[in-house]
């Protein structure tokens, strides 16, 4: 049974006949009851489903990064996860159905107008990944030494992500972390982006390349 919210002119919550009322972020929605599919999915639908699975398998484990990197993208209508999916689906998925794959160089972890890390690089030495960036700050461009720096590495063979326990800052210019022994073979793909201290402004993420682990 549905319940009227905020009087006769408001929305309603719950089930009423063949429709369901709900709300998200104070926006009222009405939708029809789910109907069990009787027709087989078309090839176009199967292709879209496979694209969704391919990209979401990568994005879901890094939701904590996406909440920052896409947290300002039309948040009244979509979640950061959905914004990240919409942003990446056209560029990052390659291949022909059913053998879709990801072009890691085209994946974005964040998107925004904050100035990034300038000259950025990543290397691997003695079991550690070493990320470096420029330390210069500018009041004109509203960049400061305490801007936060996020780094991320993905091991496709192991399907695992690694990063620092906490973000570094623009003023430090470098961060290193040990690669766990079980990941210290093959290669990793790497990214970096920055946010201001309050995390309401972010830079575009930068793909730093594929690093071979020795």
Q: Which residue has the higher pLDDT, 9 or 120?
A: 120
In a 13 Å sphere around the CA of 196, the CA atoms on its Cβ side amount to: 15
What is the pLDDT at residue 8?
45
pTM listed for this prediction: 0.81
- Cβ–Cβ under 8 Å, residues 119 and 196: no
Q: Give the position of tokens 């104070």.
A: 26
**DSSP-derived 3-state class of residue 55:** helix
What is the pLDDT at residue 14?
61
Q: Give the position of tokens 């429709």.
A: 19
pLDDT band at 26 (very low <50, low <70, confident <90, very high): low
**DSSP-derived 3-state class of residue 70:** coil
What is the pLDDT at residue 43?
82
- Cβ–Cβ under 8 Å, residues 15 and 2: yes
Mean predicted confidence (pLDDT) in 57-78: 90
pLDDT band at 33 (very low <50, low <70, confident <90, very high): low
- Cβ–Cβ under 8 Å, residues 128 and 176: yes
Q: What is the pLDDT of residues 104-132, one digit of tens each?
A: 999 999 999 999 999 999 999 999 999 99
Q: Angle at which helices 43-59 and 80-92 pack, to 10 degrees? A: 120
Q: What is the pLDDT of residues 48-67, one digit of tens each?
A: 999 999 999 999 999 999 99
What is the pLDDT at residue 3?
47
pLDDT at 84 over 70: yes
Q: Which residues pair with 210 in a beta bridge?
A: 189
CA 142 → CA 114, 118, 136, distances in Å? 8, 14, 11
pLDDT at 34 over 80: no
The CA distance from 61 to 50, in Å, is 18
Neighbours of 161 (CB within 10 A): 16
The CA distance from 56 to 61, in Å, is 9
What is the pLDDT at residue 88?
97
Q: What is the pLDDT of residues 138-197, one digit of tens each?
A: 999 999 999 999 999 999 999 999 999 999 999 999 999 999 999 999 999 999 999 999
Q: Which two tokens stand for residue 165?
A: 């326990």
**DSSP-derived 3-state class of residue 204:** coil
């Amino acid at each position: 049974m549905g319940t009227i919210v905020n009087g006769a002119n408001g929305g309603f919550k719950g089930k009423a006949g063949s429709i369901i009322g709900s709300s998200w972020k104070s926006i009222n929605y009405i939708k029809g009851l789910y109907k069990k599919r009787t027709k087989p999915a078309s090839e176009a639908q199967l292709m879209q489903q496979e694209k969704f699975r391919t990209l979401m398998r990568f994005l879901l484990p890094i939701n904590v990064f996406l909440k920052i990197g896409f947290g300002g993208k039309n948040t009244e209508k979509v979640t950061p996860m959905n914004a990240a999916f919409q942003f990446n689906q056209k560029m990052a998925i390659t291949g022909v159905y059913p053998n879709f794959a990801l072009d890691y160089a085209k994946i974005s972890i964040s998107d925004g107008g904050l100035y990034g890390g300038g000259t950025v690089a990543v290397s691997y030495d003695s079991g550690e990944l070493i990320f470096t960036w420029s330390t210069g700050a500018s009041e004109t461009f509203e960049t400061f030494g305490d801007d936060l720096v996020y780094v991320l590495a993905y091991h496709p063979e192991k399907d695992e992500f690694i990063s620092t326990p906490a973000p570094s800052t623009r003023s430090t210019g470098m961060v290193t972390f040990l690669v766990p022994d079980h990941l210290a073979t093959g290669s990793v793909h790497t990214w970096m982006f920055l946010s201001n201290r309050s995390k309401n402004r972010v830079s575009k993420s930068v793909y730093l390349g594929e690093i071979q682990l020795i």
